[in-house]
Amino acid sequence: MADITRKKNLNPERRNRTYPRVVKRARHNSYRVRKHADHGTRHDGPPTIVLVNLPRAA
pLDDT, tens only, 6-54: 766 666 666 666 777 788 888 888 888 888 888 888 888 887 777 777 7
End-to-end CA distance of the chain: 15
| Residue (of 42, 57, 56, 54) closest to 5 by Cα position | 54
The domains of the chain are located at: 14-52
Q: Which pLDDT does position 14 carry in this prediction? A: 65
